[in-house]
Amino acid sequence: MNQALAVMTDSTLTYQQKVAGLARVGESTASPLRIGADTRRYLEAGAICDLNEGPAPFRPRYIVPDYERFMRQGSAFLGLEPPRDIWEATAALLILYRHVPSITTFPVYLGDIDALLEPFVRDEAEARKAIGLFLLSIDRTINDSFCHADIGPEATTAGRLILELTREQKNAVPNLSLKYAPALTPDDFAMLAASVALEVAKPSFANDPMFRSEFKAMGLGDYAVASCYNGLPKGGGSCTLVRANLARVAG
C-alpha cells in the first residue's frame, strides 16, 4: 500500500498523529544529506539508528527554550505580554508550547515549571485549580511521552501542588524530574516526591550538584532534563541524536 494512504487509513491513529505521519512521508521523499558509502551501509544494516530523524531533518531534535526569559518579557512574535497572574502564566506557557518544534512535533522540554509558576501563586486554592488544568491540558494535547518538565531543587508551593496534582491526576504526560540537591532540597519535599514516584512512576530524581558541576566544566550555564532523560543546556538543546546498535555492529 502507498505510504501516505497507509497513514490516512490507519484506524489506530488520531487526526493529529496522521498529520504528523503524513509530514514524515513527505520528508522521506527528499535526501539532501551527503552520506558516505560506509555510513549508508551501517544505516541499512541497522547498526546505526537515526531514531526516526529521517533523510531530511529540518529542525533540531531537542530544543530547550529559555522559558524564564519568555515569562519576563513575553513574545512579540506571539503577541503576548508578560503574564501578570496564574491564569495568564499557564495560558502563556500552553500557547508557547504549541510553537516549540522538535523531532516529535511536540516540545520535549516544558521548563522548570514550579519556578516559572511560583511568582504567580498568591491564592493556593486558585493556583491548584489553574495548575491542575495546566497539567491536564498538557497530557491531553501533547500525546508524546518524551515531553519533560522539571521541578526543584528548592521547595516551592507551586512544586508541592505539581507533585500533589501529579499523584491525583495520574497522567502519563509530562515526564517529570526533581532536581535534587541535598543542601537545597528539604527532606519533606524530597519525601513527597518519592512517595508520588512510588504511585505514578514520576518524578525521577536528577543529581543537581553533579549536573551543575559537569555543565560548568563544559563552560555551559544552567541545564534542563529534557525528553526521556537528557541533560541539555538551557537556551540550546541538541541538533541530533544517533545511536549505535552494538549487536548489529558485531554481526
Residue-wise pLDDT for 185-200, tens only, equals: 999 999 999 999 999 9
Residue 244 covered by a domain: no
pLDDT at 145: 78
Task: Give the mean pLDDT of 158-182.
Answer: 97
pLDDT of residue 58: 84
**pLDDT tens sequence across 35-74:** 899 888 888 888 988 877 888 888 888 899 999 999 999 9
249 domain-assigned: no
Contact 224, 232 (CB under 8 A): yes
Same domain, 210 and 156: yes
Q: What is the pLDDT of residue 247?
A: 86
Q: How many structural domains comprise the chain?
A: 2
Q: Tell me if 234 sits within 8 A of 223, measured CB to CB.
A: yes
pLDDT tens digits for 223-242?
999 988 889 999 998 888 87
In DSSP terms, 62 is beta-bridged to: 238
Contact 241, 248 (CB under 8 A): no
In which order are the strands placed within the sheet that holds 109-112?
A: 109-112, 148-151, 175-180, 204-207
Q: Do 158 and 83 sit in the same domain of this protein?
A: yes
117 in the same domain as 9: no
Identify the CA nearest to 176 among candidates 165, 187, 164, 166: 166
- Per-residue burial over 215-251, b if 16 or more Cβ lie within 10 Å, else e, is beeeebeebbbbbeebbbbbbbbbeeeeeeeeeeeee
Q: Tell whether the model's pLDDT for residue 175 goes beyond 90.
A: yes
Decide: 34 and 163 in contact? Cβ < 8 Å: no
Q: Which of 12, 31, 53 corresponds to the end of one domain?
A: 53
Asked whether residue 165 falls in the same domain as residue 68, the answer is yes
Residue 53: the pLDDT is: 81
Let me know whether 118 and 34 are in one domain: no
Q: Which domain holds residue 126?
A: 62-238
pLDDT in tens, 209-218: 999 999 999 9
Q: What pLDDT sits at residue 246?
A: 86
Residue 173 corresponds to which amino acid? V
Q: Are residues 193 and 126 both part of a single domain?
A: yes
Examine residue 246 and state whether it is found in any structural domain, yes or no. Answer: no
Is there a single domain that holds both residue 40 and residue 94?
A: no
Helix (H, G, I), strand (E, B) or coil at 95: helix
